[in-house]
């Protein structure tokens, strides 16, 4: 059992992905089982491929590439966690849909599951798997979502239903932010999430580690549905970052022992007590104080902060476009979003905190401490470059050609990024979808 870094569990996988850290669950009360056309069309196209059976109506090359990427992620997660003993020997399904409409309809009609996004892990009486559609979905969201989905599915296959939701959700979120789409970071949290969990720790919504870990799956779904601010899932993410510790640390070793204990058949309570030495009420109190010290001292990851703010701006541009509003400058964009009290993006980390236009800091690319070194950010005039976003106007529509949305670039930060736009299908009426690219 190695003490590897959690971020090694995520590979740079291209433009497919996932949207939630929690598996969707079939509703046993729902008896909708009507045949769906997608199910019929793909009945003879089920192909065994590595870790999953692939069922798809997408381009065969696309489906094959996605399957290979899921295999790579599965292997990386297994290596980072030990690996754990596989409990569930039933086949795992990878359902690749050409359209989002077919994904929503088929999951509902065949598996009685409400799709939680364009990509998600699922479990039902028929088995477990991953469903996804790339249609009209931002690539960074899909990349992160795919990583979170594989973690959720891997934990379900190795630990069954014995892990608390807080552990599943927190670990999936940690891994999904590790190294995706060129973001070779440390799995650090962005400023929005860190601020949310710190505020909660000082207010009436504070929860102890014991309280979080005692919430079962049913209660978690109820609480999360009522938690529009995303506090509950931010607390889970923060707790796992604390418990998992740094690579090759004593905390990381204890966290791995805990997961391996549950995978081997120990209960969560027994394995947690054995791995972390938490038995008495005083032990839990000490753990709670240490977690609070950790979250108050933790620093937001600058690159993650920049990316979450670019995603916020991308969703903001899409919302304004829906109103027929086009910002001519970044200052105007900031005013337009501020006037509307815009908050987003929900696709970035679904169920977690969002970035809000009422906070003036979201209109700068990153944290004040993350500006480039003095020698690197001197302009020709010798002055220091200021960390900022710049709006680059899009191409105006002309006869026979549609226009493109404005791009946004960063300056004065260590890693220069660009919010760009593309379409996921050839239809000229298809919506533009944002992505985040490195410029260096």
For 94-137, the pLDDT digits (tens) are 999 999 999 999 999 999 999 988 999 998 887 889 999 999 99
Q: Strand locations in 382-440, DSSP E?
A: 388-392, 407-411, 417-422, 433-438
Q: What pLDDT sits at residue 240?
A: 95
CA neighbor of 192 nearest in space, from 330, 345, 318: 345
Q: 94: which strand partners? A: 54, 130
CA distance 359 to 354: 11
According to DSSP, the β-strands at 417-422 and 407-411 are: antiparallel
Cα dihedral: 121, 264, 74, 132 (round 10): -10
* pLDDT(10) > 90: no
Give the tens place of pLDDT for each residue, 19-42: 333 455 554 443 343 344 899 999
* pLDDT(89) > 60: yes
Find tokens 């090694």 and name the residue.
8
Q: What pLDDT sits at residue 347?
A: 63
**Percent of the chain whose pLDDT exceeds 90:** 54
Q: What pLDDT sits at residue 105?
A: 95
Rg (CA), the chain: 22
Give the Cα-Cα-Cα angle 410, 340, 369 (nearest 5 degrees).
30
Three-state secondary structure call for residue 339: helix
Mean pLDDT of the chain: 83
* pLDDT(253) > 80: yes
Which pTM value belongs to this model? 0.84
Q: What pLDDT sits at residue 36?
A: 44
- The confidence band for 250, taking pLDDT boundaries of 50, 70 and 90, is confident
Residue 328's Cβ-count burial label (10 Å; 0-12, 13-18, 19+) is: exposed
* pLDDT(376) > 70: no
Residues 308-316, mean pLDDT to the nearest whole number: 93
Query: Where is 119: in which H helix or E strand?
Result: strand 119-124
- The confidence band for 401, taking pLDDT boundaries of 50, 70 and 90, is low
Is the pLDDT higher at 93 or at 187? 93
Lowest model confidence (mean pLDDT) among 12-16, 204-208, 334-338? 12-16
Phi, psi for 168 (deg, rounded to 5): -60, -50
Residue pair 12/181 in contact by the 8 Å Cβ criterion: yes
CA distance 29 to 323: 40
Is the pLDDT higher at 10 or at 49? 49
Q: Is the peptide bond before 350 cis (omega within 30 degrees of 0)?
A: no
Residue pair 421/131 in contact by the 8 Å Cβ criterion: no
- The confidence band for 187, taking pLDDT boundaries of 50, 70 and 90, is low
């Amino acid at each position: 059992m190695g003490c590897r870094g959690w971020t090694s569990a995520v590979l740079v996988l291209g433009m497919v992905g996932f949207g939630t850290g929690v598996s969707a669950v079939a509703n046993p009360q729902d008896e909708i089982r009507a045949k769906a056309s997608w199910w019929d069309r793909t009945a003879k196209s089920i192909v065994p491929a590595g870790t999953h059976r692939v069922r798809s109506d997408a381009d065969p090359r696309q489906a094959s590439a996605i399957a290979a990427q899921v295999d790579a992620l599965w292997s990386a997660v297994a290596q980072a966690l030990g690996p754990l003993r596989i409990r569930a020997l039933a086949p795992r399904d990878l359902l690749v849909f050409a359209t989002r409409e077919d994904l929503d309809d088929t999951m509902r009609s065949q598996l009685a599951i409400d799709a939680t996004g364009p990509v998600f892990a699922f479990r039902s009486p028929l088995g477990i798997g991953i469903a996804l559609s790339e249609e009209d979905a931002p690539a960074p969201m899909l990349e992160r979502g795919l990583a979170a989905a594989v973690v959720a599915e891997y934990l379900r296959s190795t630990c069954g239903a014995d892990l608390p939701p807080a552990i599943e959700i927190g670990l999936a979120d940690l891994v999904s932010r590790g190294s995706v789409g060129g973001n070779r970071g440390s799995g650090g949290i962005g400023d929005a999430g860190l601020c949310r969990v710190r505020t909660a720790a000082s207010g009436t919504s504070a929860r102890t580690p014991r309280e979080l870990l005692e919430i079962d799956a049913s209660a978690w779904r109820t609480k999360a549905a009522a938690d529009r601010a995303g506090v509950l899932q931010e607390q889970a993410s923060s707790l796992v970052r604390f418990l998992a510790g740094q690579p090759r640390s004593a905390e990381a070793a204890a966290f791995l022992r805990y997961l391996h204990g549950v995978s081997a058949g120990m209960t969560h309570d027994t394995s947690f007590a054995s791995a972390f030495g938490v038995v008495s009420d005083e032990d839990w109190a000490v753990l709670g104080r240490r977690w609070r010290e950790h979250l108050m001292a933790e620093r937001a990851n600058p690159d993650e902060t920049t990316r979450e703010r670019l995603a916020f701006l991308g969703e903001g541009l899409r919302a304004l476009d829906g109103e027929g509003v086009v910002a001519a400058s970044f200052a105007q964009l900031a005013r337009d979003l501020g006037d509307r009290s815009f908050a987003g993006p929900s696709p970035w980390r679904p169920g977690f905190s969002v970035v809000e236009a009422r906070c003036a800091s979201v209109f700068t690319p990153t944290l004040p401490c993350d500006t480039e070194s003095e020698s690197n950010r001197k302009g020709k005039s010798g002055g220091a470059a200021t960390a900022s976003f710049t709006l680059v106007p899009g191409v105006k529509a002309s006869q026979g050609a549609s226009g493109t949305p404005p791009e946004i670039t960063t300056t004065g930060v260590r890693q220069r990024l660009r919010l760009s736009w593309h379409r996921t299908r050839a239809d000229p009426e298809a919506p533009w979808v944002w992505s985040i690219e490195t410029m260096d």
